[in-house]
Each structure stands twice: as C-alpha cells, then as structure tokens.
Amino acid sequence: MSAIHANCPSCGGQVSFRIGTSFVTICEYCSTAVARSDRGLEDHGKVIDLIESQSPLDLYLSGSYNGARFEIVGRTQVKHSMGGVWDEWYCAFDSGHWGWLAEAQGHFYMSFKSPLDAAPAYQSLQPGALVPGVGEGNLVVSEMGQAQILGAKGEIPYPLEPNATYYYADLSGPGGVFATLDYGESTPVLYLGKQVTLDEIGIAVSAAAREDGGMSISAEALECPNCRGSLELAAPDQAERVGCPFCGALCDINQGKLKILQILDKDKFPDPLLPLGSKGEFEDHEMIVAGYMVRSTEWHGEFFYWEEYLLYNARIGFRWLTSSDGHWSYVEPVPVADVDQGGVDGPKYKGRSYAAFDTVSSQVEYILGQFYWKVSIGERVSMSDFVNSPCSLSEEKTDSEVTWSLSTYIATEEVEKKFGVTLKPPNAGTVGLNQPYGQKMVFTIFFLMIALSIGAYFFSKSHNKETVVFKDTISFEAAPKSESQVLFTKPFKLEGKRNIQIKAFTPLRNAWVYMQFDLVNEENGSATFFDLPIEHYSGPDWDEGSNTETTYLKAVGSGSYTLRVGVERKNWSKPVTVRVTVTEGVTRFWYWLFLVGFISLLPFFTFFHRRSFEMKRWSDASEPGPWWARNSDGWDSDYD
C-alpha cells in the first residue's frame, strides 16, 4: 500500500502514514501526535522529545521473526513509577500484522497482541505468583506497576495519547516466554511473545551506534549541582539517580536536569575498589562501571556490608559485580519462570539444584555514580540466597516486583586482570557465599591414581615373568635334641634385580618346626638371613595353623646361590621333610593393596578439609545447609 501524505493539523508540516494500519504518526516538525479517523486528521497533543539513547535500534531497520519479515516504523518511550525507562519499537510485518519489540536494560522482547478470554483483575496479581487462564497457565508475574508514555516517534498502531498513564503486569514463562497484561484500555489486552536477541531476529546494529562491529561505551557529562564536579554517565538515557563521587550528593535526574536529594557522608564508606568509569570485559563485551552501591543486612544484632558495582554495555544492558569480604561474583539476570521453585532440594535453574542459604532484608547504605531506578538510601528489599558453588541464585522481592539473578564466583586475580587494578585477597578465614572448594581436583587425582595403580599391578603381573629357580625336598633325620641339624641345598641361579619368594611346606600335624635360612652367594660369600616357623594343630572340630609358610626377599645381584637350612622342632625323635620352592620375579598383590590404601588417605583427609570449608561457608547462614557441613553439636543449637 502506498504512503498517505497530509498536513499536520498543528503546524501544517507534511506528515506521512507509510503503513496503512497506522493510527498515529508523530509530526517531525512540532512533535504532535497526529491521529487519523473517519473525520480526518486529529491533534492528540504534543509528545516530549525522546531521551537520547544508546539503543542499537533505529527506525526503518528491518529484520525477521519466525521467517516473517518486518520493518521498525515507530517508537515510544515509557516510564514506570520507579523511574526506569524502556522503549517500545513497533514492527510492521509484510503480512500486515504488528509486533512490539520492547527494549529494557539491554534486553529485547518481541510480542504480539493475543486473544484473552478473561483477564484477571489487576489487584488480584502478585509478584512471583502464577496467572491462571493466561497463556498456557504457566506464566508468572515478574513486575507490576504504572507506566507513563513520555515520547514517541514514527508511526504508532494504536490511538496514542501523550502523557497517558496505565497499569501493566509483565509476565515470565519457561524458555524465555514473555507477556504483558496492559490495563490501559477498558478491556485488558494481552501481548504474548518471548525474549529475543538482535541476532535471532536478524537486526544489525544501527549505523549511528556501530563501532568496530559492536556497541561502543560512551559517557555523557553533567555538572553536580552541589560541588560543580563533572559527573560521567555511562547510560544517560537510563539514569534516574546519580551519586556524586566528589561531594557525596545524591541527585535525582529528570530530562537531563539534576536535583539534590541529600548529601551522603563520604567518609563513612571507603572509595570503590573499581573506580567509576573503569572498563572490563564480560560476556565478550566491554562493560563500564556505571555505579557503586554499599548494601547491608542485620543478622543476630550484627551488621554485614557488601559492595555492588553496576556494569553497563548498551548491547547487553546492565549487570552487577559484587564484593563481600574480598570475594567477587558476576551477576546476571534470570527470567523468573526459568527458576523451578518446586524442587525438594531447593530451586532449580538449568538442571542444577540450589540449597537455601538465607532470607534477609537488605538495605541500601551508600551510592555513587548512576542507577537505572530511583534508588534511595534506606531502600529495602527482601533477599533469599540459594547456593550451588561456584554459583548462587538470588531472589529479590518488593511489593511490585520479583527478580532472580545468577551469581558466578570470580577469583580476585581475574577481576584484577579485567580492570587493571590491584586488589586485596579475600579476608583470611572467610569463605564466599558461592566460593568453590579449591581442592576438587583431589578426587579426580585420587581416582586417577587408583586407576593407574591397578593398571600398573596388572601390567606388572602380565609382563613380570615369574620363574621357579629352585624346587626340592629336604629331609632331616631323627636326632637327639641337642644335635644341631644344618643342610645345604643344591646351587641355583638368580637373574637379580627381581624380588624373591621363598615357600616352605612340611606335612606335620600337631607339631611345630622352626627353620632358619641363609641365602648365600657362592661367589662372594654374602648372605641374607630369614626364618620360617611352621606350626599346625587340629582336633575333631577345629584346625589351627598351616603346613605352609611364605616369605619374600628384596632383589639381590645375579649369580649362583645356595640355601643353608637349619631346623628346630617339637619332636626330635621323628624325621622331618621340608619342600622348598624359590621363585624369582613374583608380583606382590599386598604391596599394591597397601599402595591403594595409602592413596585412599588423600580423599579421607580431603573430606574433613572440605567439611571445615563448608562449615565456614554456612556459619553465617540462616538455613542449616548440608548435614555433613554442620557443627558436631547440631545446627539448631546455634540458632535457637
């Protein structure tokens, strides 16, 4: 359909309706919202200028969604009651349908007007609760509030009224499903879709925002109304609160104008370890430190403090970097509905279960730099933390919003490398909320050593040839008790450097024989002494001892050897025969078993070291934690 051109009823300038189904177009000359009806063009009032934005989107960019081509033809800026601003881009599809591409804090959501049988009353909704009868019945309220239309540009597919306010509820579903219940009309409207990336919908970064193939980080300077210091804003279009790093003035920002709210005590808290404006790379994007916040919580009469650094990149939005007792974590937002809260062992996210750690009320103590909502000193939220190191899940709740985030532990050295700073190591004796146990490789090494030991045993047994070098029966005649009986065996050869097994057998019963041996080298006369006592007793229903005794000798040098054998026995009046076998190169199983037992001490001691580590982690928790990490007196005794 060809474009319709007309004159603005306010200024007379030319306005165009490029899309046949557009209701409103914004006059480029006087910012009037021009609506068309069966009576002609109507003046719906002027809209304010759009806040300058680092958005990668722009009018007339094209893309595709599920194979259907669209073009961005309009834009509105909307502000919610907490001060945050988001953009809604209107996508005209070639099929004649409309889509809404919402952009908020670096995230993008494509949605479409969808049928709604019966909308729940706004007052019946609660953050974190399921919304029955909407979508497939698995949508959860993530945020509720009142929104105000600030500005607009291009063509709009509904009768836009400048400065109009309406109530809304954002919903989250599994797998990135996103929906909004719009209560701005007489009958609530449902917009249903999902979270997307610009790559998924085939939109390239706008030319104005393209630099080296990605979004560049820029900063806009404002002047502090208290000390006249220059305030660098990483995301000026999304700034709602600004804390001056020079004088501590906390300012509200409105259309680029700063208003002092209060003067904070700069000496009460230390300067940020990561200076405002410093940059580091996360998720393959350069991010700037836009804000610094100190938060606290009270536990059993003691206050605990931690620092939070707000990071920003126009391409991916806001992230957080937290520091507590020198332990650092990188924090990413998590869709509310992607957290399965019905697990027996705690909430699940992406297949991992997280154990409940604590539920506390946290308070904002101090801020510097910019923030994307109207944060105030003393602002409180309810926080619940769940742990599965090196990650933790956190839920934050207010009366109007519930958010989930995933924190991933980062070593201090990595933070230093990313930002080019020098930091103190974590406080001695402390364990971070989601700090991983540093000796996990011990168990991998243990199983590897066990496998290698077993493998070495069977390799040795299969490749170490056992050779019987001597086997003979030695007979001792009856003799008086006082007579010394000593015999020498025939000579035999030993290859050397192989262990030796000596086995002796005698068919005695209810008697004992004590044999003394010398393994004698016939060439140099050196000898190795050992003895073999044999005793065997039995009765009608019992048997004790053995007719066989074995000993092992360490390897000796190669050469010709003989055995010198002397005996003592219980009954000297009877002869004694002893069968002696000498085997060279015998693989000893018990040596290998002893080695495996020694290696097993490694995980044994590691378990108790790990237990001590986990006890430190859970010592400040309001939840018991795993049973093996509790104090020996029992967890309840510490938390009565």
* pLDDT per position as a tens digit, 485-526: 899 999 999 998 888 999 999 998 889 999 999 999 999 999
Token reading at 190: 């449902």
**Extents of the domains making up the chain:** 4-211, 217-419, 441-456+594-638, 467-586
Average pLDDT over residues 149-176: 87
Q: Helix or strand or coil: residue 448?
A: helix
- pLDDT of 445: 72
Does position 639 have pLDDT exceeding 60, yes or no? no
Does position 210 have pLDDT exceeding 50, yes or no? no
- pLDDT of 616: 86
**CATH code that applies to domain 467-586:** 2.60.120.380
Top pLDDT among 452 and 172 is at: 172
* CA 323/CA 101 separation, integer angstroms: 35
pLDDT band at 215 (very low <50, low <70, confident <90, very high): very low
Confidence (pTM) = 0.71
Q: 22-26, 326-330, 578-582: lowest mean pLDDT where?
A: 22-26
For 447, phi then psi, to 5°, come to -65, -35
Calculate what percentage of the chain has a pLDDT beyond 70. Answer: 90
**Which among 524, 458, 243 has a CA at the least distance from the CA of 371?**
243
Residues 6+ apart with CB under 8 A from 591: none
Do residues 161 and 45 touch, judged by C-beta distance below 8 A? yes
**Which among 70, 33, 109 has a CA at the least distance from the CA of 335?**
109
* CA 74/CA 60 separation, integer angstroms: 8
pLDDT single digits (tens) 422-460: 999 998 888 999 999 876 666 677 777 778 777 777 776
200 DSSP assignment: T
- pLDDT of 33: 77
For 200, phi then psi, to 5°, come to -65, -35
Nearest-5° Cα angle at 284, 68 to 210:
60
- pLDDT of 441: 65
Top pLDDT among 208 and 157 is at: 157
* CA 306/CA 229 separation, integer angstroms: 27
Average pLDDT over residues 549-573: 91
Does position 633 have pLDDT exceeding 60, yes or no? no
- Return the biggest CA–CA distance within the chain: 142
Do residues 22 and 157 touch, judged by C-beta distance below 8 A? yes
* CA 309/CA 320 separation, integer angstroms: 6
Token reading at 553: 């000798």
- Full DSSP string of 125-161: --TT-B-TTSTTS--EEEEEEEEEEEEEEEEESS---
pLDDT band at 174 (very low <50, low <70, confident <90, very high): confident
* CA 605/CA 291 separation, integer angstroms: 44
Average pLDDT over residues 408-420: 95
* CA 155/CA 172 separation, integer angstroms: 28
Does position 635 have pLDDT exceeding 60, yes or no? no
Does position 480 have pLDDT exceeding 90, yes or no? no
Long-range contacts of 451-458 (CB under 8 A, 24+ apart): 453/592, 453/595, 453/596, 453/599, 454/592, 454/596, 456/592, 457/587, 457/589, 457/592
